[in-house]
Amino acid sequence: MGSLSKGLSLLLVLGLAASSLIIAKPACAQSGLPYPSVPQFTLKYVDYFYETPPTTTSTTNPYNGKTYTSNWPSQRFDYLGVDITIQNQPVPPNLNFTLYYNVRTKGHFGEDWTYSYDDFETHCGIIPVYNLEYGYTDLPPASSSQTTVIYSPSHYSPGDQVDFQVQAVYGYETEVHSAEYGHWWEYDPAFGYQTSDWSPTQTVKITESPASTIQSQTPVTPEFSWLLVLLLLLSLIPAVGAFRLRKCGHTQRDAVRVKPAI
């Protein structure tokens, strides 16, 4: 009798487990999307730099008519990072979704991954979207060409080794129930997704000089250069001197303000 009850209990547990799997599968399959393939990619340590042209600015003192000239030399701003070049995979036609990519990194000798965009807990799901200012997701979409290049900024030191993995994501816009009012529901926008497995790990080694040096056509917002600060202070010296002389020998109320263009 005891063995019979144990057998029935085991069958019940197995039945519940099987039913949960049956219930979970349609939740993933209801979008009608197949799962994307694991992406293939290559890594390259690069430097995107931007150079500002030399400039000269002149400011005329309205009190004494003297012109103060500031010469700004050319400056170069370097932006080191890793280019992740992903081979775009064929996507099923006639389906309303977008192919995105997800990236995660870790130290080669460590265990903890850092997610560049999102850490999806399951291979499929729906995430409510409460802030539409930047769209439904910040995942980078696949390009229309054969490859997609994702730039990962570097905060590493020469000699460091960094592991990369890439995940493909089919994403689509949908809605979720948010509240019930009488006989009708209120809906909120949501992001539906289905992901591939993570790719095999690839490792890039940070070197003293990057493999590629590419001049950017548009400036990236740089950190404020200490050289720029020094030049700004030096350009203000004539104005300070003029103000001190005027304070000693004249009674003008307004001080001269010299502000070179940056």
Whether residues 75 and 170 share a domain: the answer is yes
Whether residues 138 and 212 share a domain: the answer is yes
Q: In this predicted model, what pLDDT tens digit does every residue of 96-155 receive, in sequence order?
A: 889 999 999 999 999 999 999 989 989 988 888 765 555 678 899 999 999 999 999 988
Q: In this predicted model, what pLDDT tens digit does every residue of 10-21 receive, in sequence order?
A: 444 444 444 333
The 8-class DSSP code of residue 93 comes to: T
Residue 107: inside a domain: yes
Residue 197: inside a domain: yes
Segment 56-77 shows an average pLDDT of 91
Whether residues 7 and 88 share a domain: the answer is no
Residue 3: inside a domain: yes
Whether residues 108 and 202 share a domain: the answer is yes
Instruction: State the Rg of the chain over Cα.
Output: 30
Provide the CB-side half-sphere exposure for 46 (13 A, CA).
Answer: 19
Residue 210: inside a domain: yes
CA distance 135 to 236: 45
For the chain, percent helix, then strand, then coil, each to nearest 5?
20, 40, 40
pLDDT of residue 128: 81
Q: What are phi and psi of 3, to 5 degrees?
A: -65, -35
Whether residues 2 and 41 share a domain: the answer is no
The 8-class DSSP code of residue 145 comes to: S
Whether residues 105 and 185 share a domain: the answer is yes
Whether residues 51 and 154 share a domain: the answer is yes
Is pLDDT at 94 greater than 90 in this prediction?
Answer: no
The 8-class DSSP code of residue 141 comes to: B
Residue 257: inside a domain: no
Whether residues 176 and 203 share a domain: the answer is yes
Domain of residue 133 covers 33-69+71-221
**Total domains in the fold of the chain:** 2
Q: In this predicted model, what pLDDT tens digit does every residue of 235-255 receive, in sequence order?
A: 445 444 444 444 444 333 333
CA distance 241 to 64: 13
Is pLDDT at 232 greater than 90 in this prediction?
Answer: no
Whether residues 92 and 126 share a domain: the answer is yes
Residue 185 confidence class, pLDDT cut points 50, 70, 90: low
Please give the structure tokens belonging to residue 109. Answer: 């000798």
CA distances (Å), origin 163, targets 201, 203, 206: 6, 4, 11
Whether residues 25 and 40 share a domain: the answer is no
pLDDT of residue 212: 78
Whether residues 21 and 113 share a domain: the answer is no
What pTM was computed for the model?
Answer: 0.66
Whether residues 42 and 141 share a domain: the answer is yes
pLDDT of residue 224: 36
Residue 123: inside a domain: yes
Residue 100: inside a domain: yes
Residue 254: inside a domain: no
